[in-house]
Structure 1
Amino acid sequence: MKTWVRASMLGLALLLGAQVAQAVDVVDERGVTVSLPQPPQRIVSLLPSLTEGVCALGACNRLIGVDRYSNSPAQVRALPQLGGGIDPNVEAVVALKPDVVLLAKSSRVTQRLETLGLKVIVLEPKSHADVRRVLGALDQVLGTHEAPAVWRVIDAAVSAAAQSLPASARGLRVYFEVNTGPYAAGDSSFIGETLARLGVKNIVPASLGPFPKLNPEFVVRANPDLIMVSVRSAMGLEQRPGWGSIRAVREGRVCRFDAEQTDVVVRPGPRMDEAARLMAQCLTDKGR
């Protein structure tokens, strides 16, 4: 066999081998193994934390469409918005011809998208451990090999935020309201995990669930030292029955997060280090 023929065959074999090596198999949160012929280049993300995860791993340029709530980093705001993550516009998703669709377990369109021939990967972080695990899964899908380094930076920054707190802030009893109702962040939520790492006490025990709806009197009786709440949810807070007697309200120890800050603190994703810094700043400013 001539040398050039052998070389060509060897080159073809190496090329085929490289293509096979690029194939991706990932087990998602349904326990389903999703197989992709290669790392996807056209990605639709229908959950803000997954959108942020893709970008944190350096693959933002592969996103071709997102849900209406994905707004970080800024460059994703120019992408087609495909509706809500739970019930997106299926026709619009299909029209983009994505290699893969990333969405939450709570989405109602997973089976329909698969029936229409799309590859779907279900991932939904709900805790600090989940954030690390989902970053690892996205890393595997994207072939980026960045997740370990990204997680180390996030984890170290959360620890640094905790270490920045003055002694006067440690051990404060905190109420974190995620929405009017009131719905609170319990001790078992990812927000509760962050508060615990910051060394403060959540007035809402884990036994009530991650995000329970509370009787407003519960907060009055608990009498927290400090309240964290969005600007929108804080409207009329002082006028709620009995809330004027709460120490945090009486002493002005209420942190009101604006819309952008609220997005950061209520999303379990790669910006959890930024969330920890915002909470730590609140505790520093209001916990003295």
Structure 2
Amino acid sequence: MKRCVLFFLTFFCGILLLPGCGKIQPESPMRQVVDDSGQSLSLPSHPSRIVSLTYGTDEILLGLVDTSRVAALSQYAGNPDISFVTKEEAEAVGRKADMNAESIMALKPDLVIVSTAVSPQLVSLLRQSGIPVYVSLVAVSWDEMEEKVRGVARAVNEEAAGEAMVQDMENKKAKLEEKLSAIGPSDERCALGLSFRGILGKKGTLFSEVLAMAHVKDGAARYDVPKGTNAYLSMEILPEINPDVILMPVWKVKSGDDETAFARKIMENPAYRDVKAVKNGKLVPFPEKYKYVMSQHVTDAVEASARAVYPELFDKDSH
């Protein structure tokens, strides 16, 4: 009788120890990571149901991991005016996440990546539910963009890939500088980025630094604004700035946004008659993904800016 009892106990314990059975199986190892807000997080060693809530983290994430590890992207993914994520990549992931705690929790993510622009209340709700949330910074300089890339790479445990991405950024920047170094300070043209709401750029913003790297003078850089301020400058100062090129909006955020009508309004406004860009017809459509770039594609924004302002420099490449 004792032998029978021993046999069944041994058999039963063996069943519990089988992979995937019971709670005896050890949990996936966790890592301690500090995000860009200074918060220490406990993250899985290989997050495989990642949700990204901002277009910048979408782009960095898809440059680091396969789409099979991504449970959802931001609402902007696949929109060519604001996002570098292709329609095919967005379709491969298959889901877009709302800024809603319940809908995000329903995706059962093992990691959510946001930026400091996302509501702290949403971040807090997700963390209270037990979901690890990595907060990424909103970069306002090239150095901060490198920091942002390395941070997302750290969150998904792909630090080598993150370093490779940063190196690729550096290489592209160096190659562009080699071409653009032909433009001396006295030859630099002035450009002004517009949205449908007003003037972009301004001192201390990433877009202003992008233009500087493209050897373009940011017409709005004379206006100093506090870090993190998103207010637009008034169109009334356009004649005062007198740019050579105006980088026009294309991303329709609200009903009524129309790039053709907006351009016509500028061209027909008597107050802008003597603005160089207006006189010379240099109103260039310029996608917002370059103006609001927030990922490794900052190098693409530099090149796009240079092409828009110095097309003759790049026309030579086609001959």
* TM, length-normalised to structure 2: 0.74
Distance 1:74 1:271 in 2: 17
State the match for 1:174 in structure 2: 191
Structure (1 or 2) with the larger CA radius of gyration: 2
Change (3 A) 1:167 1:135: closer
Distance 1:61 1:107 in 2: 25
Q: Secondary structure at the match of 1:196?
A: helix
8 Å contact kept, 1:161–1:280: no
Distance 1:239 1:254 in 2: 13
State the match for 1:37 in structure 2: 44
Mean Cα deviation higher: 23-32 or 132-141:
23-32
- Post-superposition shift, 1:245? 1.6
Distance 1:173 1:286 in 2: 16
Q: What letter is aligned with 2:203?
A: D
Deviation readout 1:102-161 (Å, 9 max, x if unpaired): 112232211111122211111133222222111111221222211122112112213323
State the match for 1:48 in structure 2: 55
8 Å contact kept, 2:113–2:136: yes
Q: Secondary structure at the match of 1:188?
A: coil
State the match for 1:207 in structure 2: 224
Q: What letter is aligned with 1:131?
A: M
State the match for 1:137 in structure 2: 151
Distance 1:182 1:99 in 2: 40
8 Å contact kept, 1:159–1:197: no
State the match for 1:126 in structure 2: 139
State the match for 2:206 in structure 1: 190
State the match for 2:292 in structure 1: 266
Deviation readout 1:169-205 (Å, 9 max, x if unpaired): 941111112x223131113211111111122211112
* Aligned alpha-carbon RMSD (Å): 2.6
Distance 1:262 1:170 in 2: 26
- Post-superposition shift, 1:21? 11
Pairwise mapping of residues 9-158 of structure 1 onto structure 2 (< 5 A)?
23-71=30-78, 72-78=85-91, 79-83=94-98, 88-108=99-119, 109-127=122-140, 128-144=142-158, 145-158=160-173
- The sequence identity of aligned pairs, in percent, is 19
* TM, length-normalised to structure 1: 0.81
Change (3 A) 1:91 1:212: closer
Change (3 A) 1:225 1:194: same
Q: What letter is aligned with 2:39?
A: V
Q: What letter is aligned with 1:190?
A: L
Deviation readout 1:62-98 (Å, 9 max, x if unpaired): 1111221122033442221222xxxx12222111100
State the match for 1:14 in structure 2: none
Match of 1:281 among 299, 302, 307: 307
- Post-superposition shift, 1:20? 10
- Post-superposition shift, 1:220? 0.9
Distance 1:195 1:264 in 2: 10
- Post-superposition shift, 1:213? 2.1
Mean Cα deviation higher: 215-224 or 160-169:
160-169
- Post-superposition shift, 1:277? 1.5
Name structure 2 gaps, 5 residues minimum.
1-25, 79-84, 251-257
Name structure 1 gaps, 5 residues minimum.
1-18
**Alignment size in residue pairs:** 262
- Post-superposition shift, 1:223? 0.8
State the match for 2:10 in structure 1: none
Distance 1:167 1:37 in 2: 49
Q: What letter is aligned with 1:148?
A: E
Distance 1:126 1:92 in 2: 28
Change (3 A) 1:73 1:264: farther
- Post-superposition shift, 1:229? 1.8
Q: What letter is aligned with 1:160?
A: K
Pairwise mapping of residues 209-228 of structure 1 onto structure 2 (< 5 A)?
209=226, 211-228=230-247
Distance 2:283 2:312 in 1: 7
